[in-house]
Amino acid sequence: MSDIAEVEAEIRRLEERLLTPAVRAAPEELAGLLADDFLEFGGSGRVFDRQEVIATLPLQPKEQFALTEFQVRLVAPTIALAMYRVVRSGKQQGAPQDSLRSSIWRCSAGRWQMVFHQGTPTARGIANTALKV
């Protein structure tokens, strides 16, 4: 899969899967999407490995996520960087919260898996925060 449009469509599909409550609640689904060497820098400032994400993500409250401003850059033929904004709602308290997100995906044996993810909370409505890269 070398055409950037195909890669972008596939990575977006996978990112959107990871935002669905059903996948977030299914450890076996998460295990298939996250590489063995996965690492996340969370919006809280904590660092999570694959096992921690698989163990804790199913316990989080069910929320709705809207993905916008999605773009992908190929770093190498089998490495893709995804960058996008997410609006999260359904939290038990407070207004919807935006975050800027980035993920690194690696394709091995024709299968994409996430190897790194970072989410950075942002305030809603701040001017000049459009994702321009």
Q: Under CATH, to which class is 4-122 assigned?
A: alpha beta
The candidate with the shortest Cα–Cα distance to 42, out of 115, 104, 99, 119, is 119
Supply the pTM of this predicted model. Answer: 0.87
Average pLDDT of the residues in 19-31: 95
pLDDT digits (tens, 9 = 90+) for 36-55: 999 999 888 899 999 999 99
Asked whether 85 and 69 are in contact (CB, 8 A), the reply is yes
Asked whether 39 and 48 are in contact (CB, 8 A), the reply is yes
The domain locations on the chain are: 4-122
